[in-house]
Amino acid sequence: MDKRVIDIAEDIKEMRIRGAAKIGRTVAEAIKIEAENYRGNDPKEFVKDIKKTARYLISTRPTAVSLENALRYVLVELGKAYKNGENVKTLKSIVSKASDDFCENSNLALDRIAEIGSKRIMDGDVIFTHCNSSMALGIIKKAHRDGKKIKVYADETRPRLQGLLTAKELLDEGIDVTLIVDSAARIFIREANHVIIGADAVAANGAVVNKVGTATLASIAHEARVKVIVAAETYKFNPQTYCGELIEIEERDIFEVISKEDYEKLKGLKVNNPAFDVTPPEFIDLIITEKGLIAPQAAIWVLKETYGLGLFDKEPWED
């Protein structure tokens, strides 16, 4: 496996590369790197190598459906060409093109979602956001650039403090932003007109998997009658959930939560650090995709249109 691919995988695992959209584009680039630098002339061995690389990349962030769907997009095209008996040179070019197409579509989706979502924001609105979603930020920035005066509350998003990254990004745009501790959401939520968040995955029933704390914020917003808007590209919709499978919730290193020194002092202490939680569809008012606005209950339609009714007998990276 190409060393650059290994480095990319490590960067994703350690969250030096973060954000579902960026992760999706990065793994598409990684599989392209592996393909272009493959040395050999046997198509069967080439496909085996690409599948092995895909499985390795998937293991880095099991909840990031954008990662799986980026690889699914590329490997489905590879599979079609392989079955047609193409040689390695042609297979390489197909992997490269599919990777480029995925990245282009991802960037177009960001612009399209920002355009659609910004129309939901009115001059003078107050927005609440969580974590550091490029999709949510795209909507907020577009509204600001359109001349709308808005105020944003960004919660810290512990333990990695992605909310601080969001606050800095919005501040650089000249947007009025206030950073708050996660547990203060109930105090400020009644000032908000919208909660705008991203998603790492959307299930067939419209449930949204996002950074841990999202479900709590959505519940508080629901109680306060503040609309919750999710910005998510269609490649974040998880086809596996169509068949009833649950999305795996990643458990991260406990030393993101507690220092090793303190942990060793507190003998017998148990620590959990789930990276994501699941927000039920009844707490979500609207999902904005690059194809338009949908209700959470329409997620099944997106899956049918994007992935078809048959789906996969097995995943394209499986042998």
How many whole angstroms separate alpha carbon 24 and alpha carbon 188?
33
Note the residue count of the chain.
319
Q: Is 236 annotated as a binding residue?
A: yes
How many whole angstroms separate alpha carbon 142 and alpha carbon 85?
47
Contact criterion met (CB below 8 Å) for 234 and 287: no
How many whole angstroms separate alpha carbon 319 and alpha carbon 47?
10
Q: Is 112 annotated as a binding residue?
A: no
Q: Is 54 annotated as a binding residue?
A: no
Q: Is 210 annotated as a binding residue?
A: yes
How many angstroms separate the most distant Cα atoms in the chain?
63
Whole-Å CA distances, 142 to 104, 121, 128, 148, 149: 20, 10, 16, 9, 11
| Catalytic residue positions, numbered | 131, 200
Q: Is 19 annotated as a binding residue?
A: yes
Is 260 strand, coil or helix?
A: helix
Q: Is 20 annotated as a binding residue?
A: yes
Q: In what order do the strands lie in the sheet with 208-211?
A: 201-202, 208-211, 276-279
- Binding residues for substrate, as ranges, are 18-21, 61, 210-211, 236
- Binding residues, as ranges, are 18-21, 61, 210-211, 236
